[in-house]
Structure 1
Amino acid sequence: MAVGTLYDVFKSNPASPPIWKVHQPISSEYANGAVNETTPLINDVSAVRQAEKVIVSPPQERPLCKLLLAFSVRTNTRKLLSTRESADSLGCLHGIRFISMTWVILGHTFGFIVYYLDNPLYGLSIMKRFSFEPILNGFLSVDSFFFLSGVLMSYLMLLQLNKYRREGRRFPYWLLYVHRYWRLTPVYAFTLMLYMWVYPYIMTGPAATNTPDPGCTNNWWYNFLYINNFLDMVKGTECMGWTWYLANDMQFFVISVPLIWLTFRYFLVGMITQAVLLQASFGATIGLAIHYNLQPSMSSPGQNPDAMNLYYQKPYCRIGPYLVGTILGYFLYRTRGQVRMHKAVALLGWLAATGIGLGVVYGLYNHLTEGVVLSRPVAVMYLTVHRTAWGVALAWVVFACVNGYGGIINTILSWKAWIPLSRLTYCAYLVHPMVIFIAYQDQRETPVHYTDIELTYYFVGHVVFSYAVAYIVSMMAEAPMRQLEKLVLKQEN
């Protein structure tokens, strides 16, 4: 990183000789600085265009120089902070991704702090507030990520399939898997290294656990095969337990490549296949709920203590929102910007999506806070469909925003400032539990006394420091590997 950054700075030093030559006199307008080499080319008669015609293209960088530049903090930071997007991008997804990440951190902020309270009964009593439901149902934030993954996977792959078909080229399906594994795994491995061999030396407080995670010592290789969601989370055999999500997401990706190809070539067959998969997921969830007496929420009183292993982290119970995303991705690919609705229809869609979302988040209020026992059919139905219903609510938000019916919601979600934060979300997800445990275990010599201000203070701090650490990890592992992928695979963008 240091060598690459120094080389980048030296290479870009304005005092160094230019790497281009001008063979003809340039107009006085260009020479006087009215325009320069960074000015957009507007038309053929502009001074810039005249200069561009006689500028010799810069020489190609040597492979070693490109390797060094891949680790340049200067260049990688500029790319991270850039808010430029392609014409095909879905701007509202950036806001949804960042907000969902803060929801994950909020849930873990409260979920982890309960073990370090000196007034745990009061901490548990506030869970009866109506306003506390989003924290109790914070598990839905992960379903937001499954939905987003499905949308992007389907939409971007379909765009590429269409491009290759128009150009008469054969689509390199294998490259999708290489790209996915390359983008996720190196930074994942780097974070695991920090967790195992650096993190224990940081943790020195009275509540610190400064020994390596035994789950990682024995089963780290499950993570890099993305099958760690089949380990026992309750007994602690899983390594970096919060990464069960990555295993599910990779498994969904593996099956979605042929699924999206099928939908691209044979629309009806593809849609029927996705519907069958969704029904199979519902059937598996119903069967597990009945057999193991699973309750409607992970926060439900009397929930099966093994529910995490039986239901929560299993792909056949969690694929619903992902399939909603892949279906939406297809319709965005076919109709983006071309859908015209009457305002009354758009309003009805917003009301329906809002009702579904509020029903999913707040619908169990009496059950979770007052212990009201739901009938088994209602409990099983909620457990089975509520995650998919949440995906449907998000699908409307994205569909409306992309087609011009988002209003102020689209303005907020598509704010350019979300883009860099959205790019850091993967690294933030990897590191945020470590940041939280450092705050709770290492930096405190006394238990936490719960107050709303205390929780808010921790939550804001966890978000800020998680993204700060995510930036460091991104510069050390994620961004360099992204650039090296382009060098190895000769990608242009």
Structure 2
Amino acid sequence: MNCFDPLFAPISQISRNRRLGTALIVCLLVLGMISAFVSELTYGGQFLLMDMNFSDYWSHVYTVPWARVSAFAIGLLLGVILRDLDKKPQAWETLLARKWCQRLFTPMMWTLNIGVGICLAMMNHVQWRHGSGHWDKPSLAVFESLSRPLWSLAVAWVIFACNTGRAGPIAKLLSFPPFVILSRLSYSVYLLHPLIILFVIYSRRTGIYLPPDRLDQVYNYLGHLVLTHLVAVVLYLFVEAPLRSLDILWEPRRRRKVTQ
């Protein structure tokens, strides 16, 4: 996605024209869902059934940014809402304090959020149960186009609820100090984990065997998890943290220029 940052330049002007910026983000969301559907319908298939060209799927579906941009668009929309929440706190407090919001909207959103999360996590496994039919390409394309934005929407609601005091014990759990430390490494882990997995896979001299008990895969997962976080610590200390410090130092100058 980083190579497409120049395309988001008009969206960065959202503070000057909120409606235009929001419209651009919504268009980005819709186009991302359409591109994910078309890419999956054209190059996708069932990996475990080996009815697809893995090279084409990797190049045209799994790694292309336009197949994943819908999830980023949800994050941008959440950023717009949180920015408005900071600028107009009294208006938001008045809205969220209404009875229908406390008694109906918030419980309904948490129910939908949990339901969507469970469905997205388990839905794809249903087709592999004994006696279940496997999904065809159109079904896979629909799942591919909807799963990422829906999951991002579920995560966005958790963030919004924590910021507005509507998360209860979940906010306390996510504020647990070790999670705060891990949150600083999350972006580095996000960038590094596919590279480490690919390095390990392409360094093997034998194929990957899937035993019935899956213990080998559990061992591999834990190894990838620990190694990725160790490398992420190095990346954070030597790259991300210094750049963040420079950004903090530069922020007052940028604000001064805007006010002038």
Q: Aligning the two structures, in what range does the TM-score lie when normalised by the shorter sequence?
A: 0.7 to 0.9
Give the aligned partner of residue 73 of structure 2.
Answer: 323
Verify: 1:411 aligned to 2:142, yes or no: no
Verify: 1:388 aligned to 2:149, yes or no: yes
Give the aligned partner of residue 367 of structure 1.
Answer: 127
The 5-angstrom pairing of residues 27-106 of structure 1 reads none
CA distance in 2, matches of 1:266, 1:390: 28
Percent identity of the aligned residues?
23
Question: How far 1:406 sits from its partner (Å)?
Answer: 0.8
CA distance in 2, matches of 1:283, 1:410: 34
Report Cα offsets for 1:285-315 as digits up to 9, x if no partner. 333344x2523x7667624421111112112
Give the aligned partner of residue 302 of structure 1.
Answer: 51
CA distance in 1, matches of 2:143, 2:17: 33
Question: How far 1:322 sits from its partner (Å)?
Answer: 0.5
Gap change, CA 1:479 and 1:435, over 3 Å in 2:
farther
CA distance in 2, matches of 1:430, 1:325: 17
Deviates more, 1:389-398 or 1:477-486: 477-486
Give the aligned partner of residue 350 of structure 1.
Answer: 110
Q: Please give the root-mean-square deviation of Cα atoms over the aligned residues, in Å.
A: 3.7
Gap change, CA 1:368 and 1:480, over 3 Å in 2:
same
Give the aligned partner of residue 313 of structure 1.
Answer: 63
Q: Does the Cα contact within 8 Å between 1:435 and 1:465 map onto a contact in 2?
A: no
Deviates more, 1:470-479 or 1:361-370: 470-479
Gap change, CA 1:309 and 1:413, over 3 Å in 2:
same
CA distance in 2, matches of 1:368, 1:390: 21
Give TM-score scaled by structure 2 length: 0.72
| 2:127 partner SS | helix
Give the aligned partner of residue 270 of structure 1.
Answer: 21
Letter in 2 for 1:258: P
Give the aligned partner of residue 200 of structure 1.
Answer: none
Gap change, CA 1:286 and 1:438, over 3 Å in 2:
closer
Gap change, CA 1:368 and 1:313, over 3 Å in 2:
farther
CA distance in 2, matches of 1:283, 1:466: 32
CA distance in 1, matches of 2:139, 2:201: 40
Give the aligned partner of residue 233 of structure 2.
Answer: 471
| 2:152 partner SS | helix
Give TM-score scaled by structure 1 length: 0.41
How many residue pairs match? The answer is 238
Q: Does the Cα contact within 8 Å between 1:286 and 1:384 map onto a contact in 2?
A: yes
Question: How far 1:349 sits from its partner (Å)?
Answer: 0.3
CA distance in 2, matches of 1:415, 1:394: 18
Letter in 1 for 2:3: Q
Question: How far 1:423 sits from its partner (Å)?
Answer: 1.8
The 5-angstrom pairing of residues 451-470 of structure 1 reads 451=213, 455-470=217-232
| 1:351 partner SS | helix
Letter in 2 for 1:254: P
Q: Does the Cα contact within 8 Å between 1:428 and 1:466 map onto a contact in 2?
A: yes
Report Cα offsets for 1:74-115 as digits up to 9, x if no partner. xxxxxxxxxxxxxxxxxxxxxxxxxxxxxxxxxxxxxxxxxx
| 2:10 partner SS | helix
Question: How far 1:389 sits from its partner (Å)?
Answer: 1.3
Question: How far 1:473 sits from its partner (Å)?
Answer: 4.3
Q: Does the Cα contact within 8 Å between 1:298 and 1:307 map onto a contact in 2?
A: no
Question: How far 1:480 sits from its partner (Å)?
Answer: 4.7
Question: How far 1:331 sits from its partner (Å)?
Answer: 0.9
Give the aligned partner of residue 259 of structure 1.
Answer: 11
Gap change, CA 1:377 and 1:429, over 3 Å in 2:
closer
Q: RCO greater where, 1 or 2, for CA within 8 Å and sep 6 or more?
A: 1
| 2:165 partner SS | coil
CA distance in 2, matches of 1:379, 1:439: 26
Max Rg structure? 1
| 1:372 partner SS | coil
CA distance in 2, matches of 1:457, 1:392: 32
Relative to its length, the structure with more helix (as a share) is: 2
- Given candidates 22, 26, 33, the residue that maps to 1:282 is 33
Question: How far 1:324 sits from its partner (Å)?
Answer: 0.7
Letter in 2 for 1:423: R
Question: How far 1:326 sits from its partner (Å)?
Answer: 0.5
Gapped regions of structure 2 (runs ≥ 5): 254-260
Q: Does the Cα contact within 8 Å between 2:116 and 2:150 map onto a contact in 1?
A: yes
Question: How far 1:264 sits from its partner (Å)?
Answer: 2.3
